[in-house]
């Protein structure tokens, strides 16, 4: 096997610096987003290895040409079976990597600009089941509050709905971010882009959360402990989004038996959508809702309003189609060359 070229080493170093240092420190704290970045790069390296014959010896920035990216997009759709929306997310992730690389080496601007010229696939509008007030009430009644896990889950769902926080924001909260004894109980939430906002907690939700904190964190809670933590470890390891997703589907199955409005495919973000729609139904205006949701512009909030006026919900772009989840990963080639070389 030929020795990797200097340029191949540069690509490998850039991939690792982007995934392990830049993205988690300067781009996002979301596990899903970081995973999306890595998956996109993994799949691109797999594609150029399988379809373009690229090896560790021939890897270069030229592999990120507009032609290769267009071929990769077609491969994702036709061979991997990814949905158009998923393909577009993968392209956006790779663009972020190339933007990072070009920002550190001006000579790479050509490849970044080429990536920006690659057309996204057209995506049909997708509708998902809504979360009505009746469905919300049924879900809140689903946990068995005679158990510790049930009481924890009720506190989590109640807080998520009452404050309209994103699930990633909620699970990142530590005890020091919770202000339950303030005149107006609130959470100090770190949102997208590292922006901090105050999420006020209604009276009933605040009472539920106080009870949860007393039971799960004691009278003198550790300020650095995660508010919602994994009971299988300790208070310094947060509950995972997958664990929350599994619990929500369990409660959706239970609640749907008494309330047909409850969607069986319930996901955490629907609580946020539901809260926005219920705020609007209660007479709150667009500016107030936008502020409470932590949106950077009103246009984003308008998506939520469109959902409400039709009494339906449109989910955010699907990061990964169901079909994509069912396809076994094919990221490692026969010799594991490019992925291993780039530390993936």
The CATH number of whichever domain residue 211 belongs to comes to 1.10.443.10
Quick one: average pLDDT of 235-247?
Answer: 92
Share of the chain above pLDDT 70, in %: 85
Residues 21 and 76 in one domain: yes
Query: What total of structural domains would you count in the chain?
Result: 2
Residues 73 and 222 in one domain: no
Let me know if residue 315 belongs to a domain. Answer: no
- The pLDDT of residue 148: 94
Structure-model confidence comparison of residues 93 and 291, the more confident one = 93
Let me know if residue 84 belongs to a domain. Answer: yes
Average pLDDT, the chain: 84
Residues 36 and 66 in one domain: yes
Residues 110 and 140 in one domain: no
- The pLDDT of residue 195: 79
Task: Spell out the residues 6+ positions from residue 81 whose beta carbon is closer than 8 angstroms to its own.
Answer: 323, 324, 327
Share of the chain above pLDDT 90, in %: 56
Q: Check residue 332 and report its DSSP letter.
A: S
Q: 290 with 279: CB under 8 angstroms?
A: no
- The pLDDT of residue 302: 64
Quick one: average pLDDT of 48-71?
Answer: 93
- The pLDDT of residue 1: 57
Let me know if residue 89 belongs to a domain. Answer: yes
pLDDT band at 222 (very low <50, low <70, confident <90, very high): very high
Residues 294 and 328 in one domain: no
Residues 56 and 103 in one domain: yes
Residues 108 and 141 in one domain: no
- Could you give the CA distance from residue 216 to residue 151 in angstroms, rounded to a whole number? 10
pLDDT of residue 313 exceeding 70: no
Let me know if residue 27 belongs to a domain. Answer: yes
End-to-end CA distance of the chain: 19
Residues 45 and 108 in one domain: yes
- pTM score > 0.85 for this model? no
pLDDT band at 343 (very low <50, low <70, confident <90, very high): confident
Domain around 269: 133-309
Residues 240 and 113 in one domain: no
- The pLDDT of residue 327: 46
pLDDT of residue 326 exceeding 60: no
pLDDT of residue 246 exceeding 80: yes
Residues 243 and 191 in one domain: yes
Q: 293 with 272: CB under 8 angstroms?
A: yes
Let me know if residue 170 belongs to a domain. Answer: yes
Let me know if residue 246 belongs to a domain. Answer: yes
Let me know if residue 18 belongs to a domain. Answer: yes
Most confident of 6-20, 21-35, 229-243: 6-20
Q: What is the pLDDT of residues 160-210, one digit of tens each?
A: 999 989 999 999 999 999 999 888 999 999 887 677 889 999 999 999 999
Residues 263 and 143 in one domain: yes
- The pLDDT of residue 196: 87
Let me know if residue 227 belongs to a domain. Answer: yes
Residues 142 and 255 in one domain: yes
**Residue 332 Cα distances to 25, 69, 88, 206, 343, angstroms:** 27, 19, 22, 49, 12
Q: What is the pLDDT of residues 252-311, one digit of tens each?
A: 999 999 999 999 889 998 998 888 888 877 777 777 777 788 776 666 666 655 443 333
- Could you give the CA distance from residue 87 to residue 264 in angstroms, rounded to a whole number? 26
């Amino acid at each position: 096997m030929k020795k990797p070229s200097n340029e191949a080493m540069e690509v490998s170093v850039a991939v690792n610096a982007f995934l392990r240092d830049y993205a988690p420190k300067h781009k996002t704290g979301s596990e899903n987003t970081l995973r999306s970045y890595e998956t996109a790069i993994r799949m691109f390296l797999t594609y150029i290895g399988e379809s373009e014959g690229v090896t560790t010896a021939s890897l270069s920035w030229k592999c990120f040409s507009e032609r290769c990216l267009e071929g990769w997009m077609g491969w994702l759709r036709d061979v991997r079976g990814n949905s158009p929306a998923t393909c577009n997310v993968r392209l956006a992730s790779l663009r972020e990597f190339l933007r990072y690389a070009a920002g550190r080496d001006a000579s790479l601007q050509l490849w970044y600009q080429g990536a920006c010229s690659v057309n996204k696939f057209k995506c049909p509008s997708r509708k998902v089941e809504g979360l009505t007030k009746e469905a919300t009430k049924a879900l809140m009644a689903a946990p068995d509050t005679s158990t510790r896990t049930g009481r924890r889950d009720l506190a989590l769902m109640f807080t998520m709905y009452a404050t309209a926080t994103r699930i990633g924001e909620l699970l990142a909260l530590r005890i020091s971010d919770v202000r339950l004894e303030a005149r107006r109980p609130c959470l100090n939430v770190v949102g997208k882009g590292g922006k901090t906002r105050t999420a006020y907690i209604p009276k009933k939700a605040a009472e539920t959360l106080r009870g949860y904190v007393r039971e799960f964190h004691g009278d003198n809670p550790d300020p650095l402990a995660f508010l919602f933590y994994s009971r299988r470890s300790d208070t310094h390891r947060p509950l995972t989004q997958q664990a929350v997703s599994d619990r929500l589907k369990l409660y959706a199955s239970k609640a749907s038996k008494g309330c047909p409005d409850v969607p069986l495919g319930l996901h955490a973000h629907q609580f946020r959508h539901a809260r926005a729609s219920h705020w609007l139904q209660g007479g709150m205006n667009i500016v107030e809702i936008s502020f409470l949701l932590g949106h950077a512009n009103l246009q984003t909030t308008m998506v939520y309003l469109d959902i409400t006026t039709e009494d339906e919900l449109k989910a955010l772009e699907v990061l990964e189609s169901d079909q994509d989840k069912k396809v076994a990963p094919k990221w490692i080639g026969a010799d594991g060359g490019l992925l291993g070389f780039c530390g993936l």
